[in-house]
Structure 1
Amino acid sequence: MFTDILAATDLVRVSDNGVVAAAKLAENFHAKLHILHVLESSEARNRRKVRHFVTGEEIITSDAYEKQVADEIHAVYSPIVHSSVDGDIRVVAGFPWEEILRWSRRLKPGLIVMGPHSGRAAEKGVIRVAGKIGSTVEGVVTRENCPVMIINPAVQVKTAGFKRIIVGVDFSVSCECALAFAGQLAEKSDGRLFPFHMIPVPPYPKYSRENYETDLAAAKQRLTDFCGPFLGDLPHEYIVWGGALPHLEILSCAEKNQADLIVMGSHTKETQGKWYSGSVVERTGFRAACPVVVVTDPNALVPWDGDGLPDSAIGREKDRMIHVFTKDRRS
């Protein structure tokens, strides 16, 4: 399913949970693992000006310094990345989300693995926004049509085989992509799928139990009709219940069903000139006790021309992985 996996980390002398999980995935799928560390630029005018990973002093990076950082990273992961995992370590200077996108376009991985926030946020003087993923993940998710796996630092991925997969469904095109991806993953891992949909329960006294039961039955039928073409004969169980906040209900569903993976479709949106990946994705990815894979509909991607491709071509290249995830692709 995956031939190449890109794991992005901003840690040097400390193990990154995302890289460890990516190594297990690479071993399980016999994929090549690409570990990418971005030396974050101190200023836009000179992107080779970075902070030394030990002293914190501003320096102009060089081939020798980048090799030193790569050697440090190799020392951390050499006991973890076994000889059965083919891979490499790349150290580059620039702005993290841009470089992750740039190398994703070059390497064409089937999966990108990241943490929800910078592991060096305090060192950088970054103030985290409660309940939201970081700007690097957001920058990648809104512009990249390769599935992105978000792994919280506290999550321990003990096995690369995902047996119980929750798929958040809101009947969008992005959810079609998410369902098809989850189906392929479940087939490879002999897993079981749990498509989940939350019914919004209005806070009105006149909304009766009878109204709820009617909405529940209609939602279950709609979920069955929507998901059926993507699931085929795969083991699955439809779950529908009412709630007010989708991200909390998805997390609750994952906990109750002992899920080891959540798959979601992302919906990019623009607010006051800034693009966002969608509040449900942000809040779920930040709080989840298991890995979360985000798949974005190619037609919803934010244009990015950092690798020289025209804006109209971004996310619509014929060989991009996302297109194989949709069995009922709309033209």
Structure 2
Amino acid sequence: MFKDIIVGVTPSGVDACAVESAVGFAKKFESNLYLVHVAGMEQGWGSIETLEASGETARLEARIREMYASLLADLPNAKVQVVAGIPHNELLRLARKKDTDLVVMGPHTKEYEEKRAQMWGMAGSTLERVSQKARCPVMIVHRAVECKDPAFSNILVATDFSEQSECAVSYGGQMVRQYKARLTLMNVSETSTDSPQGRAEIEARLNAEYGDRLQGIDNCVYAGRFGRPAMEILNMATQIGADLIIMAHHSNADDPEEAFLGSTVVQVSVNAPCPTMSVNRHFDLRCGLMYDQTGQVVEVAATA
């Protein structure tokens, strides 16, 4: 399913859960795994040449490899890379260069727990900017995840009926078919008062908008809710025991920084009981059967 996986790491170990999950997926799918740490900006170092000349690059690589030695024992080909620059820029650049089909990230900030206490759902700008701009799905992991077989059996996809959300729904449909999983497709309305009739109207619209492209999925539930989107998505994930949440990362906010601090996908991802996957474009799984919008098999994808 995933041929090339990048996981963002820091020497602090705050990303341990993300690394553990990425290693589990790499083993399961026989993926190429890259542990990437972006260094230099916070220490005032301006170039990789400075890091290399001082020996700091090698020391950081050795420290990270030692930190995760037990996890990487069965992945001798896993690579640890230290680069200088702005973290989100370098992670996005490497993902494009490797044609990566999954980026895994943790909260990516030492102050994560304190920030959660001060501002519910806040996350570092690295996490925000990577999940917003990546050309591949970004899986955000902030707690230990069991890598089971099948990898996913109960998938929650949240949509706001936007064009961006169509990508998330399509990708979710592919994953559900791949794993023969249960799909819950939900929309949360902030504009109306909760009522049985209102929920039924949302669910009817979900069916009308996405029913054709989800044909062939035997276990699919439409759910309409009212309230704060992040809170309702988290409640639904807990209620159904979801093992993956899929959303589109986007915002209509005029101020990009406001969008970074307030996006629903980040509020969900740093509080969810399971990994959250941010999807911004249409993707095809790299293994298994491929489907058209009616659920018919159109081709067999090349395996990695």
- Scaled to the shorter chain, the TM-score interval is 0.7 to 0.9
- Aligned counterpart for 2:269 among listed residues 278, 285, 290: 285
Q: Deviations over 1:10-30 (max 9, x none)?
A: 135677110110111111222
Residue-pair matches, total: 281
- Aligned counterpart for 1:158 among listed residues 137, 146, 151: 146
Kept in 1, the 8 Å contact 2:14–2:106? The answer is: no
Kept in 2, the 8 Å contact 1:111–1:146? The answer is: yes
Aligned CA RMSD, in angstroms, stands at: 2.9
Task: Name 1:296's counterpart in structure 2.
Answer: 280
Q: Deviations over 1:200-239 (max 9, x none)?
A: 4635xxx8xxxx3333222212111222233232243323
Alignment-mate amino acid for residue 158 of structure 1: E
1:114-125 map, 5 Å: 114-118=105-109, 120-121=110-111
Higher mean C-alpha displacement, 225-234 vs 107-116: 225-234
Q: Does 1:261 align with 2:244?
A: yes
Residues 26 and 185 from structure 1, CA distance in 2 versus in 1: closer, same or farther, beyond 3 angstroms? farther
Alignment-mate amino acid for residue 231 of structure 1: L
Gaps of 5+ in 2: 286-290, 294-304
- Aligned counterpart for 1:221 among listed residues 170, 183, 204: 204
Task: Name 2:178's counterpart in structure 1.
Answer: 188
- Aligned counterpart for 1:231 among listed residues 210, 214, 217: 214
SS, match of residue 6 in structure 1: strand
Counterpart Cα distance in 2 of 1:273 and 1:158: 35
Counterpart Cα distance in 2 of 1:13 and 1:228: 43
1:38-53 map, 5 Å: 38-42=38-42, 46-48=45-47
Q: Structure 1 residue 60: deviation in Å?
A: 4.3
Counterpart Cα distance in 1 of 2:12 and 2:50: 18
Counterpart Cα distance in 1 of 2:37 and 2:56: 13
Counterpart Cα distance in 2 of 1:190 and 1:42: 45
Alignment-mate amino acid for residue 185 of structure 2: P
Alignment-mate amino acid for residue 235 of structure 2: S
Counterpart Cα distance in 2 of 1:13 and 1:265: 28
Tell me which stretches of 4 or more aligned residues in structure 1 moved more than 4 Å.
12-15, 325-328
Counterpart Cα distance in 1 of 2:76 and 2:165: 32
Q: Structure 1 residue 5: deviation in Å?
A: 0.6
Counterpart Cα distance in 1 of 2:225 and 2:121: 22
State the TM-score, normalizing by the size of structure 2: 0.81
Kept in 2, the 8 Å contact 1:5–1:111? The answer is: yes
Task: Name 1:174's counterpart in structure 2.
Answer: 164
Residues 128 and 137 from structure 1, CA distance in 2 versus in 1: closer, same or farther, beyond 3 angstroms? farther
Counterpart Cα distance in 1 of 2:13 and 2:266: 28
Alignment-mate amino acid for residue 109 of structure 1: T
Kept in 1, the 8 Å contact 2:138–2:279? The answer is: yes
Task: Name 1:302's counterpart in structure 2.
Answer: none
Task: Name 2:121's counterpart in structure 1.
Answer: 131
Task: Name 1:140's counterpart in structure 2.
Answer: 130
Alignment-mate amino acid for residue 111 of structure 1: L
1:102-113 map, 5 Å: 102-113=93-104
Counterpart Cα distance in 2 of 1:265 and 1:37: 26
Task: Name 1:99's counterpart in structure 2.
Answer: 90
Kept in 2, the 8 Å contact 1:186–1:193? The answer is: yes
Task: Name 1:3's counterpart in structure 2.
Answer: 3
Q: Structure 1 residue 175: deviation in Å?
A: 1.7
Kept in 1, the 8 Å contact 2:171–2:283? The answer is: no
Counterpart Cα distance in 2 of 1:270 and 1:262: 23
Task: Name 1:61's counterpart in structure 2.
Answer: 51
Higher mean C-alpha displacement, 20-29 vs 229-238: 229-238
State the TM-score, normalizing by the size of structure 1: 0.75
Percent of paired sites with the same residue: 27
Counterpart Cα distance in 1 of 2:223 and 2:259: 27
Counterpart Cα distance in 1 of 2:220 and 2:266: 25
Q: Structure 1 residue 174: deviation in Å?
A: 1.9
Kept in 2, the 8 Å contact 1:175–1:265? The answer is: yes
Gaps of 5+ in 1: 50-58, 298-321
Kept in 1, the 8 Å contact 2:32–2:78? The answer is: yes
Kept in 2, the 8 Å contact 1:2–1:111? The answer is: yes
Task: Name 1:77's counterpart in structure 2.
Answer: 68
Q: Structure 1 residue 246: deviation in Å?
A: 0.9
Q: Deviations over 1:100-127 (max 9, x none)?
A: 1111111111010001341x338xx9x9
Task: Name 2:228's counterpart in structure 1.
Answer: 245
Q: Structure 1 residue 43: deviation in Å?
A: 7.0
Alignment-mate amino acid for residue 146 of structure 2: K
Counterpart Cα distance in 1 of 2:12 and 2:247: 30
